[in-house]
Amino acid sequence: MSTPALELTGLKKSFGKAEIIRGIDLSIGKSERHAIIGPNGAGKSTLFNLITARFPATEGTVKLHGEDLAGLQPFQINRKGLSRSFQITNIFPKMTVFENVRCALLWAQGYKYSFWNLVNKSRRLNEGADAILDQINLLPRRDLPAGMLSYAEQRALEIGITIAGGADVIMLDEPTAGMSHSETDYITDLILKVTEGKTLIMVEHDMGVVFGLADRISVLVYGEIIATNTPELVRADPKVQEAYLGAALEEEH
Amino acid sequence: MTDQITTDPSKPAQRMRAGSMSLTVGPWIVAAVALMLMPYIFTSNSALTIMNQMWITVVFALAYNMLLGQGGMLSFGHAVYAGVGGFACMHIMNNSDLFASFPLPVLPIFGGLFGMGLAMIVGAFSTRSAGTVFAMISLGVGELIAACSVIIVAFFGGEEGVSGDRTYAMPFFGNEFLQQIDVYYLTSFWVLLSAILMYLWSRTPVGRMANAVRDNPERAEFLGYSARWVRFYSFVASGFFAGVAGGLFAINYEILTEENLNTASSGVILLVTFLGGVGFFFGPIIGAIVFTLVQTVLSLQTELWAFYAGSLFLATVMFFPGGLAGLMMMHVPVFRLGKMKMLLLPYAKTLIPAAIGILGLCCLVEMTFHYRHAATGDHEMTLFWTTFDSHTLMPWIIAAAITAVGLGIAKMTAPALKEAWDEANTAGGTS
Ligand SMILES: Nc1ncnc2c1ncn2[C@@H]1O[C@H](COP(=O)(O)OP(=O)(O)O)[C@@H](O)[C@H]1O
Ligand SMILES: [Mg+2]
């Protein structure tokens, strides 16, 4: 079998005495669409933060394409082709929508810390940014400060700058949280479109989205993964139903 | 190029603020012509001196704003980089063999290199974080190096400082920079070149990322950029241009002292930059011009000029956090809507009385100062071409009345101005 895109072994995280992530082993294959579900406070965002080195792990390893990420900083991990979005929108509010996307393209296009290129002169850069804006339907908003966008538009921009650099492992933390039905459908289509052929790891509460999108689902409860399987089998798993799905499904009705 | 096509023309201010404007040469040509013509308009030697000081402050303030405005780093010790660049230039001036081997206009480059070298050393640890930690380190380093001026006398020259003679450089096309006007053109050349380079810097990838890191360092890290290194590059570039300003200072005054790098000078450049406005590239230019005028022209009129400069700064911070540039740019939308005319009368009705009231207030301040500090028996003072006795009641009553009436009218007419302003900012529906 080929090396998995992402492999977690014995991952643990404590904040003070509270152990939030309590030993996670998970392997996600190349081009797999993997959803992580679980009740609020289960540790889903914390897990994302551990993988992307926003927080240091207390124990355990994270491997990206077989390479151990221990000791790397977020920007180094990003350069290895892993890009993430945030549950709480994390953009550059004072810069224009276009500038937001263009900044997300700079490193990927090899500009590094260049002070001998002018951003306005690079066709590839500006056209690339416009192409992303087109994909996320924000071209009409191009020159507005990002902070002036509506909530749904900011979420779309969040996804836009996450995927702009062309990373092959994309992690999205609740991309549809707080959205209306039509907005959710729109974002789901967008995610399908932009993650074509890529590895996607996504935290999501909307079961419609999860079952429509994911190849496999992991259920995270109290810092532990209690099941990882295809949507059908997860849905049928009595453990999952007891711990989470039942409650969630009841809530929906 | 593509920037212009889909830009919403009704949002010019936003477009400018966000910095997606395309590269234009127009303003630079205007600036170059203005720099060339100024000595023909202001011909006196003292005017040249004032302008030289102005342009040096422009370079320094623009360099400072690379940190504050573009990079979000508040430095309390930036005079150090200008100062060290200037001292280095003085030593080069005093090394006759070396100095005779190149023409004077090249000297500021060395100032820049020394400022940059110091910035690389300090930036290596200070740019790890922005915010309070950065500010405190900048203050500490500023104090430290200022203190060195009495310790490392060989470099800083102790209390007397280091002086030299610029005319020993290799003649530049026969010019030895004996005249003030020659120095003026040298300074003008450097202010234009530095401003253009700093503007272009803001359009490069690392310059754009400086804005991104300023707004949200964490997100920048998740896009592949180390916030720390982005800050470091801004810091080093800023150190270079601060050093250039120091070199220009060395050429102009031929002496550098501890005053050039102490915390007070660092405070002044912060004030100048903020007064002009940190949110726009040209803000610090306006700040430097206004401040230098206040400092030079006003200081000839009154000993209390620093008090007025401080009040101006305070008023700007409190009422116009965007600085003078922000205040100007506020009017762009009105201008685009063609409604500037609507504002003229309300402005006149409020600002003229306000100005008179403020002048009245200044009279009271000056009279108080004279009353307290003039030599005993010297009761006579002159304000606005009027000579009177500061120890009699009448002038006080008159000044107080002018103040009260002026400010009173301004206060009364202010709501109408506000209304006119709102009206002028609304599209459509003109009278
Ligand atoms: N930086 C932190 N410090 C302390 N506790 C934290 C921190 N981040 C998250 N937690 C705690 O970890 C638990 C899991 O949070 P989170 O990962 O955000 O859950 P989820 O994303 O699954 O809703 C919560 O109880 C939260 O209070
Ligand atoms: Mg969460």
The atom of ligand 1 lying closest to the CA of A55 is: 1
Q: What's residue B383's pLDDT?
A: 83
- Enumerate residues 164 to 223 of chain B having a beta carbon within 8 A of any beta carbon in chain A: 200-201, 203-209, 211-212, 215-216, 218-223
Query: Which pair of structure tokens corresponds to residue A217?
Result: 């689902």
Instruction: Name the pLDDT band for A241 (thresholds 50, 70, 90).
Output: confident
Cβ-based neighbours of B121, under 8 Å, separated by 6 or more: none
Rg (CA), chain A: 18
Q: What are phi and psi of A76, to 5 degrees?
A: -75, -40
The atom of ligand 1 lying closest to the CA of A39 is: 22
Q: Tell me how crowded residue A226 is: count the other CB atoms within 10 A of its CB.
A: 18
Domain boundaries, chain B: 2-329, 339-424
The residue whose two tokens read 């002159």 is B382
- Between CA A38 and CA A247 the distance in angstroms is 11
Q: In this structure, which ligand is nearest to the CA of A222?
A: 1
A interface mutation test: which of B25, B223, B229, B232 has the most A CBs within 10 A? Answer: B223
The atom of ligand 1 lying closest to the CA of A48 is: 17
The crossing angle, in degrees rounded to 10, of helices B26-41 and B45-71 is 150
Which residues of chain A make contact with B206, given a CB cutoff of 8 A?
Answer: 113-115
Instruction: Determine which residue's CA is closest to atom 25 belonging to ligand 1.
Output: A41
Residue pair A153/A103 in contact (Cβ under 8 Å)? The answer is no
Q: What's residue B159's pLDDT?
A: 87
Q: What's residue B24's pLDDT?
A: 79
Q: Nearest CA of chain A to the CA of B225: how many Å?
A: 5
Instruction: Name the pLDDT band for A116 (thresholds 50, 70, 90).
Output: very high
User: Rounded mean pLDDT of chain A?
Assistant: 92
- Between CA B267 and CA B54 the distance in angstroms is 17
Nearest residue to B248 (alpha-carbon basis) of B170, B171, B193: B193
Domains and CATH numbers, chain A: 6-252 (3.40.50.300)
Q: What's residue A161's pLDDT?
A: 95
CATH number of this structure's domain B2-329, picked from the four choices 3.40.50, 2.60.40, 1.10.3470, 1.10.1740: 1.10.3470
Q: What's residue B174's pLDDT?
A: 87
Residues A10-25 have pLDDT tens digits of 999 999 999 999 999 9
Query: Between chains, do A92 and B221 touch, taking CB under 8 Å as contact?
Result: no
- Enumerate residues 20 to 79 of chain B having a beta carbon within 8 A of any beta carbon in chain A: 20, 22-23
Q: In this structure, which ligand is nearest to the CA of A20?
A: 1
Tell me if A49 CB under 6 Å of ligand 1.
no
- Between CA B57 and CA B246 the distance in angstroms is 10
Q: Tell me how crowded residue B190 is: count the other CB atoms within 10 A of its CB.
A: 26
The three-state DSSP-derived secondary structure of chain B is CHHHHCCCCCCHHHHHHHCCCCCCCHHHHHHHHHHHHHHHHCCCHHHHHHHHHHHHHHHHHHHHHHHHHHHCCCCCCCHHHHHHHHHHHHHHHHCHHHHCCCEHHHHHHHHHHHHHHHHHHHHHHHCCCCHHHHHHHHHHHHHHHHHHHHHCHHHHCCCCCEECCHHHCECECCECCCCHHHHHHHHHHHHHHHHHHHHHHCCCHHHHHHHHHHHCHHHHHCCCCCHHHHHHHHHHHHHHHHHHHHHHHHHHHCEECHHHCCHHHHHHHHHHHHHHCCCCCCHHHHHHHHHHHHHHHHHHHCCCHHHHHHHHHHHHHHHCCCHHHHHHHCCHHHHHCCCHHHHHHHHHHHHHHHHHHHHHHHHHHHHHHHHHHCCCCCCEEEECCEEEECCCHHHHHHHHHHHHHHHHHHHHHHHHHHHHHHHHCCCCCCC
Cβ-based neighbours of B178, under 8 Å, separated by 6 or more: B167
Among A15, A40, A201, which residue has the most ligand 1 atoms within 8 Å of its CB, making it the best to mutate? A15
Among A13, A45, A46, A54, which residue has the most ligand 1 atoms within 8 Å of its CB, making it the best to mutate? A46
Tell me if A221 CB under 6 Å of ligand 1.
no
Q: What's residue A129's pLDDT?
A: 96
Which residues of chain B make contact with A94, given a CB cutoff of 8 A?
Answer: 17-18, 211, 215
| DSSP-assigned beta bridge partners for residue B212 | none
Which residues of chain A make contact with B200, given a CB cutoff of 8 A?
Answer: 118
Query: Between chains, do A142 and B205 touch, taking CB under 8 Å as contact?
Result: no
Residues A172-189 have pLDDT tens digits of 999 988 888 888 888 898
* Distance (Å) from CA A82 to ligand 1 centroid: 22
Burial of A232 (0-12, 13-18, 19+ CB in 10 A): exposed
The atom of ligand 1 lying closest to the CA of A203 is: 21
Query: Between chains, do A143 and B226 touch, taking CB under 8 Å as contact?
Result: no
Which residues of chain A make contact with B199, given a CB cutoff of 8 A?
Answer: none
- Between CA B280 and CA B69 the distance in angstroms is 8
Tell me if A41 CB under 6 Å of ligand 1.
yes
Q: Nearest CA of chain A to the CA of B382: how many Å?
A: 51
Q: What's residue B270's pLDDT?
A: 95
Among A45, A47, A49, which residue has the most ligand 1 atoms within 8 Å of its CB, making it the best to mutate? A45
Q: What are phi and psi of A218, to 5 degrees?
A: -110, 140
Of the partner residues A79, A120, A165, the one whose CB lies closest to the CB of residue B203:
A120
Q: Nearest CA of chain A to the CA of B209: how many Å?
A: 7
Instruction: Name the pLDDT band for A250 (thresholds 50, 70, 90).
Output: low
Mean pLDDT by 10 residues, chain B (431 residues): 38 40 78 95 93 97 97 96 97 94 96 98 94 95 92 91 93 90 96 97 96 96 97 98 98 95 94 94 96 91 89 91 92 88 91 93 90 80 83 88 94 92 77 45
Instruction: Determine which residue's CA is closest to atom 7 belonging to ligand 1.
Output: A15
Instruction: Determine which residue's CA is closest to atom 18 belonging to ligand 1.
Output: A45
Cβ-based neighbours of B423, under 8 Å, separated by 6 or more: B339, B342
A-B contacts (CB, under 8 Å): 134
Which residues of chain B make contact with A99, given a CB cutoff of 8 A?
Answer: 18-20, 208, 211-212
Residue pair B417/B411 in contact (Cβ under 8 Å)? The answer is no
Q: Is the CB of residue B237 less than 8 Å away from at least one CB of chain A?
A: yes
**How far apart, in Å, are the Cα atoms of B58 and each of B272, B315, B387, B415?**
9, 22, 38, 36
The residue whose two tokens read 């700079």 is A106
Nearest residue to B60 (alpha-carbon basis) of B247, B214, B251: B247
Buried b (16+ CB within 10 A) or exposed e, A134-146: ebbebeebbbbbb
Query: Between chains, do B6 and A91 touch, taking CB under 8 Å as contact?
Result: no
What residues have a C-beta under 5 A from ligand 2, the ion?
A 44-45, 87
Query: Between chains, do B205 and A106 touch, taking CB under 8 Å as contact?
Result: yes
- Between CA A95 and CA A99 the distance in angstroms is 6
> What is the ipTM metric for this complex?
0.93
Q: What's residue B19's pLDDT?
A: 42
Tell me if A20 CB under 6 Å of ligand 1.
yes
